Every structure is written in structure tokens, then in C-alpha cells.
């Protein structure tokens, strides 16, 4: 027994000799290097800094082997922090949600012009249809020339009815008509296309708020263009602040997007990423999987 205790004490002593405690001075150079990699991968600077500071706090005071390399330890901690962030809102299973929710499920797609709202609505409509749900589109972008025809073209190809009004009509009332249509025909989901191009941010946000309020939307989905990096982050912040979003879809991943926007948008909104847009065909909508995404990021750090 005495011998056993002595052995344990001795081995603890030897272990302490071969270990060092991590402190900020040892960690900073490695963190700075990883911060630059994150930024090079299009993560917004403020988000990259916040993640690195979080990792620093977690690691300071940890004991590691004296000759162990610091970088793999710090990198692993950073990747865990990113994974935790991406799983924060829980995975959002859209099909499961629609299956269990009261019908019709009302979804409003928001975002600035050109990010891919209308294309994404067509893709989500197709996905729902493939799963046996009955869907209607609301052409609530009554602002941009050609917007109504664009949605109608998708509706025509997919065999999905589009409820529309005149250009200049109140977008909220078009959305409301689509909900009434869905109720009368016992449809499963209403997908509302909105305008991204209003003169001022204030007007745009007021218009979105009104649509969401008038139809009592179940889901508000932010659509951002992953290629625009920091701009997408600012937009997500604004829409979340003024309208409140359920989650995000980031588009154009087929076009060489580095992926940082996903991390930044998740960090700023603390809401799940639902899908990634990976092309222009209806099938090009990929459910977002945090683990696969982090594995891809890991390869690039
Ligand atoms: N490569 C690629 N292109 C996409 C993707 N999603 C949308 N696009 C393209 O992006 C362009 C703009 O898409 P829209 O769906 O019209 O964008 P929007 O947000 O509705 O634009 P506004 O109605 O002007 O506000 C179109 O040329 C789409 O085909 C994607 O995942 N990958
Ligand atoms: Mg559009």
C-alpha cells in the first residue's frame, strides 16, 4: 500500500516535470495564424476574433506535454468551438417541421436583392413537393420588374400555383391571399417570395415585418449569398435584428464560396443554417450538416 502510494506520487511528479501550462504568450502566435486562415476563408474578422478569444480562454491554464506541438491542440479546440456554434440552434429538419406543424405552414424568405431568394423558394417548393406536400407560392415581390413572371415561370415548371397581384400592390396582402388560398384547399405550405430592392433599409424592414405580422409567419428564412462574405453577415444581422429569423440558407456554394459566411452568419444570428444552395437546378439544395462542414473547414486551416 505504502509502495503503491509512493509510486503514484513519483509518477505524478515525473508527469508534472514533462508537462507545461498553456498561457496566452504561448498560445497567441498559433491563434494569430489560425485567425488569418479563418479570415482568408471569408470568416468576418469580428467573428474570427471572437472565436479565437473563446479558444484562448478555454486553453489558458490547461496542462499539455512539454514537447507536444501547440498548433494541433489549438486547431482542434477552434474546430470544436465552430462545431458547437453551428449546432447551437439545433439541426433544423424542415420536412419534419412541415410534417408535424399545423397547416398551412407559412414561410417568408427574406434577403437583399440577387442573393437567390426566388431560386431558393423554387428549390424548397420542389423539395416539399417531392416529399408529398402540397405547396403554393406567394409573389410578394411586387416591386422589381419581372419578379412576378420569374416566380410564375418556376411555378409553371414545377406545377405549383402562384398567387400574385399587380406590381406595386401591398406585398402583405398578396401573402395573405396565398394563405387564404392554402387554407381553402388544405395545402401544406405557403412560400412567400419578397423583394430585396427597396430604397432604404428602413422601408425594406418595415415591409418584411408587415408581411410576417399579417400572415403570422411560422418561419422566416434569411437567404444570403455566400460569395459576398462580410456583406452577407451584415445583412443577416440586420434582418435578424428587425424581423427575427428562424434560420438561414446560404447560396452559390457551387461558385467557389469559401464557406466562412456560414460560420459568420451562424455566429451573428445564433440560428441554424438550414440548407446550402449548390447550383441553379431545383435539386441543388443541400441540407446543412455541421460535422461535414467542419471537416471541410479543417482541411483548409
Ligand atoms: N450558381 C448558383 N447560382 C444561384 C444559386 N442560387 C441562385 N442563383 C442565381 O443567382 C441569381 C439571382 O437569383 P434570384 O433567385 O433571382 O435572386 P433574388 O434574391 O430573388 O433576387 P431579387 O428578386 O432581385 O431580389 C440567379 O441568376 C440565380 O440563378 C446557387 O445556389 N448557385
Ligand atoms: Mg427574387
Q: What are the pLDDT digits (tens) for 239-274?
A: 999 999 999 999 999 987 788 999 999 999 999 999
The C-alpha atoms of residue 208 and residue 226 are separated, in whole angstroms, by: 22
The confidence score (pLDDT) of residue 14 equals 56
Q: Is 119 in the pocket of ligand 1 (CB under 6 A)?
A: yes
- Select 2-86's CATH number: 1.20.120.140, 1.10.3720.10, 3.90.1150.10, 3.90.1010.10: 1.20.120.140
Q: How many Å lie between the centroid of ligand 1 and the Cα of residue 113?
A: 9
The confidence score (pLDDT) of residue 197 equals 72
pLDDT level of residue 17 (50, 70, 90 thresholds): low
Which of 220, 225, 170, 223 is closest to 190 using CA atoms?
220
The confidence score (pLDDT) of residue 88 equals 79
- The mean per-residue pLDDT over the stretch 71-94 comes to 90
User: Would you list the domain boundaries of the chain?
Assistant: 2-86, 94-288
User: In a mutational test of the pocket of ligand 1, which residue from 109, 111, 119, 125 has the highest number of ligand atoms less than 8 Å from its CB?
Assistant: 119
Helix (H), strand (E) counts: the chain: 12, 10
- The mean per-residue pLDDT over the stretch 106-122 comes to 97
User: In terms of pLDDT, which residue wins out, 295 or 256?
Assistant: 295
3-class DSSP state for residue 99?
A: helix
**Helix, strand and coil in the chain, % to nearest 5:** 55, 15, 30
Q: What would the pLDDT profile of 276-294 be if each residue is shown by its tens digit?
A: 999 999 999 999 999 999 9
3-class DSSP state for residue 19?
A: strand
> Among the atoms of ligand 1, which is closest to the Cα of residue 119?
15
7-11, 86-90, 194-198, 211-215: least confidently modelled range = 7-11
> Among the atoms of ligand 1, which is closest to the Cα of residue 115?
19
The confidence score (pLDDT) of residue 283 equals 98
Q: Whose CA is nearest to atom 5 of ligand 1?
A: 252
Percent of all residues in the chain with a pLDDT value above 90, rounded to a whole number: 78
Q: How many Å lie between the centroid of ligand 1 and the Cα of residue 94?
A: 21
- Report residue 192 as a C-alpha cell: 412567400
Q: Looking at the predicted structure, is the pLDDT value of residue 13 above 60?
A: no
Q: How many Å lie between the centroid of ligand 2 and the Cα of residue 90?
A: 28
Percent of all residues in the chain with a pLDDT value above 70, rounded to a whole number: 94
Q: Looking at the predicted structure, is the pLDDT value of residue 118 above 90?
A: yes
The C-alpha atoms of residue 77 and residue 68 are separated, in whole angstroms, by: 15
- The mean per-residue pLDDT over the stretch 192-201 comes to 83
pTM of the entire structure?
Answer: 0.92
Mean pLDDT over the full length of the chain: 92
- Give the largest Cα separation in the chain, rounded: 91
CATH topology of domain 94-288: Rossmann fold (3.40.50)
Residues in the chain: 301
Which of 29, 35, 27, 31 is closest to 260 using CA atoms?
35
Q: What would the pLDDT profile of 211-231 be if each residue is shown by its tens digit?
A: 999 999 999 999 999 998 888
- The mean per-residue pLDDT over the stretch 101-111 comes to 97
Q: Is 113 in the pocket of ligand 1 (CB under 6 A)?
A: yes
Amino acid at each position: 500500500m505504502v509502495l503503491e502510494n509512493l509510486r503514484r506520487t513519483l509518477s505524478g511528479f515525473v508527469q508534472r516535470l514533462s508537462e507545461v501550462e498553456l498561457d496566452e504568450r504561448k498560445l497567441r502566435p498559433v491563434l494569430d495564424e489560425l485567425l488569418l486562415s479563418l479570415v482568408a476563408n471569408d470568416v468576418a474578422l469580428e467573428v474570427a476574433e471572437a472565436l479565437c478569444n473563446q479558444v484562448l480562454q478555454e486553453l489558458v491554464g490547461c496542462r499539455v506535454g512539454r514537447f507536444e506541438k501547440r498548433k494541433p491542440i489549438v486547431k482542434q479546440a477552434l474546430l470544436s468551438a465552430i462545431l458547437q456554434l453551428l449546432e447551437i440552434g439545433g439541426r433544423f429538419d424542415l420536412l419534419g417541421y412541415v410534417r408535424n406543424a399545423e397547416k398551412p405552414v407559412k414561410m417568408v424568405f427574406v434577403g437583399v436583392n440577387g442573393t437567390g431568394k426566388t431560386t431558393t423558394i423554387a428549390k424548397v417548393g420542389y423539395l416539399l413537393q417531392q416529399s408529398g406536400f402540397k405547396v403554393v407560392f406567394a409573389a410578394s415581390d411586387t416591386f422589381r420588374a419581372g419578379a412576378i413572371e420569374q416566380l410564375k415561370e418556376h411555378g409553371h415548371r414545377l406545377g405549383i400555383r402562384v398567387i400574385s397581384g399587380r406590381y406595386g400592390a401591398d406585398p402583405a396582402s398578396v401573402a395573405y391571399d396565398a394563405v387564404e388560398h392554402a387554407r381553402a384547399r388544405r395545402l401544406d405550405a405557403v412560400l412567400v417570395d419578397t423583394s430585396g430592392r427597396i430604397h432604404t433599409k428602413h422601408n425594406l424592414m418595415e415591409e418584411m415585418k408587415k408581411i410576417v405580422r399579417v400572415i403570422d409567419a411560422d418561419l422566416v428564412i434569411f437567404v444570403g449569398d455566400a460569395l459576398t462574405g462580410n456583406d452577407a453577415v451584415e445583412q443577416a444581422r440586420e434582418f435578424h435584428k428587425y424581423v427575427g429569423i428562424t434560420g438561414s440558407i446560404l447560396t452559390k456554394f457551387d461558385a467557389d464560396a469559401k464557406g466562412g459566411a456560414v460560420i459568420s452568419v451562424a455566429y451573428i444570428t445564433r440560428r441554424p443554417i438550414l440548407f446550402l444552395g449548390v447550383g441553379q437546378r431545383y435539386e441543388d439544395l443541400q441540407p446543412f450538416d455541421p460535422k461535414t462542414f467542419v471537416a471541410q473547414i479543417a482541411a483548409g486551416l
